[in-house]
Every structure is written in structure tokens, then in C-alpha cells.
Amino acid sequence: MNEERDTHFRGFAKLLYDDFLQLAREDTSSIGEIAAPDYVEKWRMKVEQLIAERAYDLVLHTVWNIAPVDLERLFMKEVAAKVPDFTEWPEYEK
């Protein structure tokens, strides 16, 4: 793997991991709820929501930090909103 790709967003990865730990700490599910057949699906939805929010934050952060002119920053949220969602991870040249 490419060292830059492997290490560049370590801070983001740490923050995301911390978010997952906080999500787990805040889970007040009872034993009965955990045993319910839909618990895994509900948990998956919470995790996916958190990842989606943080992915959006990363795009917005990226666009915000690469804009050379302050005036362009007025349009950053619009640009971030236009980035299409992933349906699969992209293939990178190795």
C-alpha cells in the first residue's frame, strides 16, 4: 500500500474510532433488547449513520482546506453535497 494513503488520515481514523467507542458507551440496551432479532440491524443502522456523518465531515473538511480563495468557501457545503455517495470502494493502482 501507499504510505500516504495508509497514514494521512490517522487523526480522522482516531476520531472515528473514538466516536464508535462513545456510541458503544451510550448504548443503554437491555439484555432483552440485545436478544431481540432486530437488535443487530438497529446497531448496524446506528454505525452506518455515524460513518455517513463523518464521511460527509471529511469531505467538507477537505473542500474547506483546499480552497485558495475565501469567497469560494461560501460554496463549500454545496460542493460537498454534490459529491456522490460510494456504492463500493474505488480501485487504486498499487
Average confidence (pLDDT) over 9-24: 94
What pLDDT shows up at residue 48? 95
Residue 5 CB contacts under 8 Å (≥ 6 apart), including other chains: 92
Distance CA 30, CA 44 (A): 17
Mutual angle of helices 39-66 and 10-26, in 10-degree steps: 150
CB burial of 48-76 (b: ≥16 within 10 Å; e: otherwise) equals eeeeeebeeeebbeebeeeeeeeeeeeeb
Q: Where are the domains of the chain?
A: 3-82
Distance CA 63, CA 76 (A): 6
Give pLDDT tens digits for 24-75. 999 998 999 889 999 999 999 999 999 999 998 998 888 777 766 665 666 7
Q: Please give the backbone phi and psi of residue 31, each rounded to the nearest 5 degrees, phi first.
A: -60, -40
pLDDT score of 2 more than 90: no
pLDDT score of 94 more than 60: no
What pLDDT shows up at residue 93? 62
What pLDDT shows up at residue 53? 93
